[in-house]
Amino acid sequence: EPVLYIVATPIGNLADLSARAQEVLGSVDYIAAEDTRYSGRLLAHFTIKAPMISVHDHNERQRSEHIINLLAAGHSIALVSDAGTPLISDPGFHLVRAVREAGYRVSPVPGCCAFVAALSASGLPSDRFQFIGFLPAKSGARLQTLKPYAAHTETLIFYESTHRIVDSLAAMAEAFGGERYAVVARELTKTFETIHGDTLQNLLEWIQADSNQQRGEFVVLVHGAPASEQGDQIDPEAERILHILAKEMP
């Protein structure tokens, strides 16, 4: 049976490519990759040789047709992205939808995902969270995107790159308040892995003061708004009466 496998690849440390991922990548007829040169190096490291097909944001819809034709001809295909799990801030959604609609099996080979790794080591509440991914590049749009999340009580999770980490932390401090606690997880599984938590204002100052901390890949996790924020807003008059009543209590 032809299958489209969705294969997670490492986010830095090559040893994180699972045994099953190696087995599947070694057995498929084609490997569809976001960047064939970049993924080619990973595959070469594991001496995996399969013809590659490029599937990126700009050609995904056309390539989906081609891949469905290959499945129809009985070939199995693996989809990989540059790092981590395909479709998570990466291409693949249109392909997976089209392949499922065409009636072929899509099967995940799970593994690394930067935000799951970051959340698991952040110490922030992990029972409920919202993954927001990359923020818009323009400062106005960035702030507009952030503002509606200010009252959210679940952990908020963002992706960021070297170029915009300072601007994004500044925008978060503006949207959520400088006192909000957050964690910056940088270069996970790599040599300079850093996981640092503080208030947004202190994180901003810390990262501005050390240009080394501005390099690499980041997950930013922001503590949700306190759940009691709305509930605790007791009417001052009610509070005064409660105070009087409390004094009268035996």
Which residues here bind ligand SAM, judged by CB under 6 A? 11-12, 81, 83-85, 88-90, 113-115, 159-161, 185-190, 217-219
Cβ(32)–Cβ(79) below 8 Å? yes
Query: Is the CB of 149 or the CB of 158 nearer to ligand SAM?
Result: 158
Q: How far is the CB of 190 from ligand SAM (least distance, A)?
A: 6
State the Cα–Cα distance between residues 28 and 2, nearest whole angstrom.
9
DSSP 23-75: HHHHH-SEEEESSHHHHHHHHHHTT----EEE--TTTHHHHHHHHHHHHHTT-
Q: How far is the CB of 193 from ligand SAM (least distance, A)?
A: 7
Q: How far is the CB of 246 from ligand SAM (least distance, A)?
A: 50
DSSP state of 82: S
Q: How far is the CB of 75 from ligand SAM (least distance, A)?
A: 24
- Residue closest to ligand SAM, measured at CB: 84
Q: How far is the CB of 57 from ligand SAM (least distance, A)?
A: 10
Cβ(111)–Cβ(9) below 8 Å? yes
Which of 74, 80, 11 shows the shortest CA–CA distance to 40?
A: 80
Query: Is the CB of 61 or the CB of 163 nearer to ligand SAM?
Result: 163
Query: Is the CB of 130 or the CB of 153 nearer to ligand SAM?
Result: 130
Residue 186 makes CB contacts below 8 A (sequence gap 6+) with: 192, 193, 194, 195, 196, 213, 216, 217, 218
State the Cα–Cα distance between residues 146 and 140, nearest whole angstrom.
10
Which of 37, 54, 39, 38 shows the shortest CA–CA distance to 7?
A: 39
Query: Is the CB of 75 or the CB of 215 nearer to ligand SAM?
Result: 215
Structural Rg of the chain based on CA atoms: 23
Q: How far is the CB of 71 from ligand SAM (least distance, A)?
A: 23
Query: Is the CB of 35 or the CB of 198 nearer to ligand SAM?
Result: 35
Query: Is the CB of 60 or the CB of 160 nearer to ligand SAM?
Result: 160
Query: Is the CB of 157 or the CB of 225 nearer to ligand SAM?
Result: 157
Q: How far is the CB of 10 from ligand SAM (least distance, A)?
A: 9
